């Protein structure tokens, strides 16, 4: 598995040095989890069924009891993820931000990710 690295701004790295990819390692799977969570369903023009159903099933006043299940399913369906070993999320209403902390077992070893969406 080869995954193009992202820079600190979330853009693809294009240095041309040959060091622009994660290849067959847990970091590649971690980046796939992160980008999968950040993708809104319908946003990718090649397959509008891909991504998180943020607008329809996660965001909103009465979605809190069920959104963790949806987020976990997105993580489990990520290429290279075998299982989730720990998961937690917290919502900050003042910032309107959801922080997800996940540890998963991938085909390349353990993956730990903390991302704010």
Using one digit for the tens of pLDDT, what is the confidence trace for 61-111?
777 778 899 999 999 999 999 999 999 999 888 988 889 999 999 999 999
Does residue 111 lie in a domain region?
no
Give, in degrees to the nearest 5, the angle at Cα 70 between 67 and 74. Answer: 140
Does residue 46 lie in a domain region?
yes
Residue 15's domain comprises 2-82
Question: What single-letter DSSP state applies at residue 11?
Answer: P
Using one digit for the tens of pLDDT, what is the confidence trace for 30-56?
999 999 999 999 998 999 989 899 888
* Cβ within 8 Å of residue 43, ≥6 positions away: 51
Does residue 102 lie in a domain region?
no
Question: What single-letter DSSP state applies at residue 6?
Answer: B
Closest CA to 54 of 38, 76, 73: 38
The answer, yes or no, to whether residue 60 has pLDDT greater than 80, is: no
Q: Tokens for 108? A: 């390349």
Q: Tokens for 9? A: 């701004």
Does residue 90 lie in a domain region?
no
Q: Which strand (E) or helix (H) includes residue 30?
A: helix 26-38
Does residue 95 lie in a domain region?
no
Q: How many domains, in total, are found in the chain?
A: 1
Using one digit for the tens of pLDDT, what is the confidence trace for 15-29?
877 788 899 999 999
């Amino acid at each position: 598995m080869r995954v193009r690295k992202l820079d600190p701004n979330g853009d693809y790295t294009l240095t041309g040095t040959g060091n622009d990819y994660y290849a067959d390692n847990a970091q590649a799977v971690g980046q796939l989890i992160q980008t999968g969570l950040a993708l809104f369903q319908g946003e990718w023009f090649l397959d509008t069924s891909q991504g998180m159903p943020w607008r329809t099933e996660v965001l909103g006043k009465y979605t809190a009891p069920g959104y963790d299940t949806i987020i976990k399913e997105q993580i489990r369906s990520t290429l290279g993820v075998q299982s989730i070993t720990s998961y937690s999320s917290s919502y900050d209403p003042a910032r309107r931000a959801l922080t997800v902390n996940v540890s998963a077992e991938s085909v390349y070893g353990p993956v730990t990710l903390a991302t704010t969406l």
